[in-house]
Structure 1
């Protein structure tokens, strides 16, 4: 690990800002940060991180650049666009994408960057905003063994669990599966909370009892207790629109591999109803309201027949 390497960070959103702050607090070398939103830099107050005004300025100085962006198109633009990280005379040696994208995008970007002499790893993250703030994320990495060994110490600034999942793109495979499981678990929990309450069991009692048995889960302890129990769905958390983006990526991968993911298809319809019926931009466990109010779901949009 090069402790004096200059680290660049692009994207200071809810997760990215917390991750960049941890990097700035723990890395011995310089840390540079870029975001199009001037207000995003407030999260780095009190750290040594320095703000840069353009991606070209970042690329001219950074040895390794971490990305935390909304999705695949943004990753492609930042990496390969006309004003992106590889558009100038000097390029970073390594780009590590912490975003969630499609597997195809990760592998395509890696191939195009390799032709320019830049190594690329997909390293999407899981767990909550609080875990990001504590530096306790789970990070799933797609890279060859040599590159993984090189970047792992830097990733541990941000994550307490860093898993080498396989070659490029495999980090995204694992992350998408992780997200699909938690979205589906949250939906199933919401359904059972409504059923339990209408059958005479208070939701808090239900969660306490189930948490002591085999029905316990991360979704119960977090989404159930902290959001669905008090019926609180804050803004600036993970909204149903983001859920639908990730589910779309999962369904694309399933189609490419010939797997019919019917549970995920059903979850897509529920979260679409959540976004379309008053909870757009709110925390996605608001799906319990769709169930509680018996809101109709749109027909399935998949093209594969049963």
Structure 2
């Protein structure tokens, strides 16, 4: 996006936006699922043999989990795994991001490969497709040290085609890759109330669900690898559209002399109510505990929203789906990134609109 002269450039015409062993053994189950099922059977058998040891066996069943990517979302997700009694091996490209989780009891390791050498269940939470590719297939990536039967869960929001590629690469190493992007924002990540959209082998879903319910209240199986990403991309496109609409509506109402808190109250008891208005209002002073109350710091960055809308644009182009409002939202968030809003929360679109009026 251009910085200043962009007003002279009109928004473009509406655009169509731009699975160790074959992952399954005989009978349709993946071998990773078979081994986990056998372990569960033995645990249940031992429960009847020695009831007194049930609690200790339950704790022992919480084998270490690797967690890579300790940003605004990942740090809270890893903390919730610790709260549920899972030993955590953690890693992040920025060492300073590891200090808090280390103080809470996680063991910090230097690389994704080291994580894979120590844990057979790994969760990744990364900013973009290139980051995911590097963390999984790079020189010090997960797949350099991954153990057969490992379960790899990626909660990043990336191109579905990259998820499919990572699943194939993991399959070659005898591991299983599942995509499980999230929705709910930093608040839900902190409180353990995220929604997970899961794609991959259905017989692996129970094992995935065991971990994800430590971090979220809704864990939904969407279908084959990549469908979790598809659901997330659709959700975030709608979120962007509704946030822009809420910002425009609030701004218009204020210009017409309405008190913003009153207008928000009316919207939230009327047909215009949406998450952007009743949970994440973009107008400063209307709600507490949201980015608009702290100069749009924290939350979900404008850069990330622009990235997700780019994914929607690309997948829409590939599937010949018409997304006129999604395309326009993409352009708006790109302009915002070029105008100094890149590191602010995406709800800063309200502030952006106000500044546009003064130019």
Verify same fold: TM over 0.5.
Answer: yes
Selected match of 1:8 from 66, 77, 84:
66
| Maintained 8 Å contact 1:228/1:288 | no
Question: 1:231 touches 1:286 (CA, 8 Å); kept in 2?
Answer: no
The answer for the alignment partner of 1:239 in structure 2 is 301
Residue equivalent to 2:328:
266
Q: Kindly state the Cα deviation for residue 181 of structure 1 after the two structures are TM-superposed.
A: 0.9
Q: Aligned residue for 1:18?
A: 76
Q: Indicate the residue corresponding to 2:196 in structure 1.
A: 139
Which position in structure 2 is the counterpart of 1:304? Answer: none
Task: Give the match's secondary structure for 1:188.
Answer: helix
**Cα distance in 1 between the residues matched to 2:96 and 2:177:** 29
One of 281, 286, 304 as aligned partner of 2:343: 281
Distance 2:65 2:175 in 1: 15
Which range moves more in the overlay, 222-231 or 12-21? 222-231
CA 239–10 in structure 1, closer or farther in 2 if over 3 Å, else same? same
Cα distance change of structure 1 residues 296 and 257 upon mapping to structure 2, 3 Å threshold? farther
Runs (4+) off by over 6 Å = none
> Where is the helix percentage greater, Structure 1 or Structure 2?
2
Asked if 1:34 is matched to 2:96, the reply is: no
Listed one character per residue, the Cα deviations across residues 187-226 of structure 1 (whole Å, up to 9, x for unaligned) are: 0011111111112212211111111111111110233167
SS class of match (1:114)? helix
- Check conservation: 1:254, 1:260, Cα contact below 8 A: yes
Q: In the alignment, which residue of structure 1 is the partner of 2:129?
A: 72
Provide closer, same or farther for how the CA distance between residues 293 and 212 of structure 1 changes in structure 2, counting only shifts above 3 A.
same
- Quote the Cα distance in structure 2 between the aligned partners of 1:123 and 1:92: 18
Report the counterpart of residue 12 of structure 2 in structure 1: none
Q: 1:228 to 1:294 in 2, by over 3 A?
A: farther
Structure with bigger RCO (C-alpha 8 Å, 6+ apart) = 2
CA shift at 1:36, angstroms?
2.0
Gap regions ≥5 residues in structure 2: 1-35, 41-60, 287-291
Written as runs of structure 1 = structure 2, the 5 A alignment for 1:37-116 is 37-88=94-145, 90=147, 93-116=150-173
User: Highest CA radius of gyration, 1 or 2?
Assistant: 2
**Offset of residue 234 of structure 1:** 3.0
1:296/1:102 CA distance change after superposition, 3 Å: farther
Matches within 5 A, 1:184-199: 184-199=241-256
Is the alpha carbon distance of 1:278 and 1:157 closer, same or farther for their aligned partners in structure 2, counting shifts above 3 Å?
same
Per-residue deviation, residues 119-169 of structure 1 (Å, max 9, x unmatched): 000000110212111111111100121111221111111111110111110
Distance 2:146 2:354 in 1: 57
Cα pair distance change 1:65/1:270, threshold 3 Å: same
Q: For residue 244 of structure 1, give the secondary structure of its aligned residue in structure 2.
A: helix
Task: Provide the rounded CA distance (Å) in 2 between the counterparts of 1:218 and 1:89.
Answer: 40
Aligned residues: 296
| CA distance in structure 2 between the aligned counterparts of 1:293 and 1:4, rounded to whole angstroms | 52
For the aligned residue pairs, the C-alpha RMSD in angstroms reads: 2.1
Number of the residue aligned with 1:207: 264
Provide the rounded CA distance (Å) in 1 between the counterparts of 2:75 and 2:213: 16
